[in-house]
Amino acid sequence: MSLCLPTRRSSTRLMLPAVAAMALAACVSTPGPQVSGTGTCSDASLGWAVGQPADEANLRRLSSESGAGLVNPISPTTVVKHDARNDRLRVYIDAQNRITAARCE
């Protein structure tokens, strides 16, 4: 009488789909960014922010006044993708944490 025991190779094959399923489940359950505002960005009246500290209060005010649904603070080391979105405000910040520009991009 011989016993059919799983080999190391077959148990690895069985574990791989289970691990992949758990990884995908983690991705699906993670919520995306919360978008607020009207969704259409307007940077016409945001000139006051240049030179101001990039603190939470100023970023919230920029978000509110621009109507943008998404605000991206951009530091000197941030890699920026050059895609266009009409609901995004990019706030450019220098090394001293001062706002250098606020543009809808």
Where residue 56 sits, what CATH number does that domain have?
Answer: 3.30.10.10
Q: How far apart are CA 59 and CA 54, in angstroms?
A: 7
Residue at 24: amino acid letter: L
Q: Which residues pair with 73 in a beta bridge?
A: 91
Asked if residue 30 belongs to a domain, the reply is: no
Domain-located, residue 25: no
- Residue 26 DSSP SS3: helix
90, 98 contact by CB (below 8 A): no
Residues of the chain with pLDDT under 50: 28-30, 32
* Confidence (pLDDT) at 32: 46
Q: Provide the pLDDT for residue 17.
A: 66
- pTM greater than the 0.85 cutoff: no
pLDDT at residue 64 in the model: 92
Is residue 83 domain-resident?
A: yes
What pLDDT was estimated at residue 39?
72
In this prediction, residue 27 carries a pLDDT of 52
- Structural domain tally of the chain? 1
CA atoms within 13 A on the CB side of 83: 5
pLDDT of residue 85: 87
| 34 assigned to some structural domain | no
Tell whether 5 is covered by a domain: no
Q: Which domain holds residue 65?
A: 47-104
